[in-house]
Chains A and B, each alone.
Chain A
């Protein structure tokens, strides 16, 4: 019999029959990790932990929530006032959504900067984009549940997008809503799906990890590890680094929960849903603003919807649009400034998304939308033809030896 790694007899017995302990050991302990990861590599574990926080707080909220249009708003207020620590759990869940997106956006932009989507990690990236889409669907449906004014009208606006589909649009909208307009059946199915999707995300995260561990983490230099000396075991080196990052993250998270719990929220949503009165400015949650800006900057309804979904779906093609063999922006003199231009452009889109679509806002929004797609579809493929990468090291060790010598 093979030598066992475990002293504990029970652990041994179980592991021989069901190698869960070996699996955990591989994934969280031995997993060989590049020695040069920076703090942006904390975003993965932080996203996973935030997902857990959302599931635990969501489960406890669901025990008190009622998905009936007559009771939904009241049941949320009851959670805030009467349920023991209900205010805390709801503020955790509400702000957890915002923090989840902050972390995920950092995670995505890190991937963009260091070229983590390139061969052989294309599927890892694609699974990530799928998780992002599932997150957006979950967040959108979750925002409907408190049944405030923004919940109702946000749901109306977003579901109406599907009516832009030629011929079958209205039929699809009625099928999604379960009626002629957003109402009781909509609320109930959104609650069901909001409850279900996170577990789908957990499954996708597992696939994400399997794909990650196939070739290991990328690193800030974007060159593969070539020698065991360039790798360190995940535990204790990155567990401790992740814990430090988590501590800082939780301090910021708690700061918002306890001192500015409605910072990310919209006051209008504390008015109960009223199908007869539309709020003056319907704005989605901040994390949807860039996409909302793209939607509104296209004059045609169908065109706007196509472009908005296209803005996410273009990410699926990214591994094949960016043909440069060099991963890290550190060694790509042209890509690096263009990356930051893209980040700035996304921020501009987010700012425009929160403004009424008129005057200069409309013009800026259209330019920014055009640039968004220009970056992916034109710039990236062209760059690989003209750009001369600079100082790409042959290995991680070679790079740091060079740094040492000055």
Chain B
């Protein structure tokens, strides 16, 4: 009799343990429920289905003569497509990779040497470099010149003079046939 009394005084009474348990279970279920309700609201801010459907663009490149380029929009950013001449290809391939700010060989940046495809957004602060039109300045490396802070890119889209830290990125793309490329999808 006395033993029993002692144990109930020292330990938590059974009903209190039960209450703690119920409280924890309620809060856990409520928390999971709240998170589940929150998710649709968070997810609604992600790109919508129609926005995602616009994530690839097909470009006809047959009309671009060697030495010139074409700019197309892909996911809201300009993509530079350049038809390179044999001299330009040779130049791009001969640059010593170790001298570059962001070392990368030309062959890693193209699928076919005569076609260069890069995203035309300067990796410094996001300006669009000039050099796509024959009349625009291309800088001293035959590629592109950023008008904002003077970064210069070579004919492989690699940064040759800062402040841009990285090369112009190469988007995923696929040659559908000899004169069509699909930007946004890797083969």
Contact = CB atoms under 8 A, between A and B. Distances in A.
Chain B: number of interface residues, binned into ranges: 10 to 19
B48 A60 contact: no
Chain A: number of interface residues, binned into ranges: 10 to 19
B85 to A, nearest CB: 44
A84 B40 contact: yes
A85 B46 CA distance: 10
A56 B41 contact: yes
Contact of B50 (A57, A60, A63, A78): A78
Contact of A60 (B41, B49, B51): B41
B51 A89 contact: no
Chain A interface helix/strand/loop/mixed: helix
B26 to A, nearest CB: 9
B47 to A, nearest CB: 8
B45 A63 contact: yes
Contacts of A388: none
A266 interface: no
B48 A89 contact: no
B51 to A, nearest CB: 7
B186 interface: no
A85 to B, nearest CB: 3
A225 B71 CA distance: 78
Q: Which of A60, A81, A84 has the largest count of B CB atoms less than 10 A from its CB? A: A84
B43 interface: yes
Interface string B38-60: 01110111101111000000000
A84 B51 contact: no
A61 B50 CA distance: 16
Interface string A43-84: 000000000000011001001100000000000001001111
A85 B43 contact: yes
A247 B75 CA distance: 44
Nearest to B39: A85
A57 B42 CA distance: 11
A290 interface: no
A284 interface: no
B50 A84 contact: no
Contacts of B40: 84-85, 88-89
A86 interface: yes
A180 B2 CA distance: 91
A64 B41 contact: no
Interface string A73-115: 0000010011111101100000000000000000000000000
A89 B46 CA distance: 14
B48 A78 contact: yes
Q: Which of B40, B44, B45 has the largest count of A CB atoms less than 10 A from its CB? A: B44
Contacts of A81: 49-50
A283 B42 CA distance: 35
A160 to B, nearest CB: 36
B32 to A, nearest CB: 15
Interface in B11-49: 39-41, 43-46, 48-49
A1 B78 CA distance: 65
Interface of A: 56-57, 60, 63-64, 78, 81-86, 88-89
22 contacts: A56-B41, A57-B41, A60-B41, A64-B44, A64-B48, A78-B50, A81-B49, A82-B49, A82-B50, A83-B48, A83-B49, A84-B40, A84-B48, A84-B49, A85-B39, A85-B41, A85-B43, A85-B44, A86-B48, A88-B40, A89-B41, A89-B44
Give the top 10 A-B pairs by smallest Cβ distance, nearest first: A85-B40, A82-B50, A82-B49, A82-B48, A84-B43, A83-B48, A60-B44, A85-B44, A84-B44, A60-B41
Given A60-B44, A85-B43, A89-B44, 7 more contacts: A56-B41, A57-B41, A81-B49, A82-B48, A82-B50, A85-B40, A85-B44
